[in-house]
Amino acid sequence: MQAQQLHDWDLSYAEARAVQDQLAGRVRFTKLSKSPKLIAGLDCAFTQGGKRILAVVVVLRRVASSIPKELGMASFELIETASAALDVTFPYIPGLLSFREAPACLAALEKLEHEPDVLMIDGQGIAHPRCLGLASHLGLFLDKPTIGCAKSRLTGAFEEPAPEKGAHSPLTDGDEVIGAVVRTRTNVKPLFISAGHRCTLEDAIDLTLTCAVKYRLPEPTRLAHQTVSRLKRGPVC
């Protein structure tokens, strides 16, 4: 899976912020033209005291099911896994984490033999102080639909959604809706979902709920998280 080169990675703090401001204007929100069949999940972990970063991407194929769609169930099969570990070259600066994580993510994605229709990323899309979280950043590099599927809020205000699975409330920045707070399991903490690139917030919510089969995390990012947690203890790091 090939990515275009949008910018260098050897950047100062001021240069990185300027890149975010410039790239944020290139993010597009277009409805997915068809139901995705191949869905990738991506997660990262820091190792060796934060000196190395390991990225894992899994690709799942959605399997036809006889269970009615309205029951919110789907099944998936894992068809590919790829990973990459790189030295961290950018300092920890809140709001600029994608400059630490994206190079390893892109290195892992380049190893894929199957090209996913959409990527679900453990991170933010436009629900970010400068509207360019990791999911949006990667979406522009890949020119692919991406969804930010974060476990916690980075920015924005919200009211707690109802306790039932499927309930969601808007995540707002002033008068602008930048994401949604989505309950993927009844009486379990919600996720913070936002469009990354080339999809709408409605697409992001629908796909998250479709992929949240049994657990809080949707299957693509759950399996990516499981895999990166296992690999960071092994020789790949």
Distance CA 65, CA 39 (A): 16
Q: Do the beta carbons of residue 28 and residue 131 sit within 8 Å?
A: no
Q: Do the beta carbons of residue 220 and residue 58 sit within 8 Å?
A: yes
Which ranges of the chain have pLDDT less than 50?
A: 66-72, 236-237
* β-bridge pairing 146-150 and 168-173: unpaired
Distance CA 202, CA 86 (A): 34
Three-class SS state of 122: coil
Which residues pair with residue 86 across a beta bridge? 53
pLDDT at res. 73: 55
CATH tag, 13-231:
3.30.2170.10
pLDDT at res. 235: 61
pLDDT at res. 49: 81
Distance CA 128, CA 36 (A): 25
**pLDDT digits over 171-205, tens only?**
999 999 999 999 999 999 999 999 999 999 999 99
pTM: 0.92
Distance CA 6, CA 8 (A): 7
Q: Which of 189, 178, 198 is nearest to 217 (CA)?
A: 189
Q: How many residues does the chain have?
A: 237
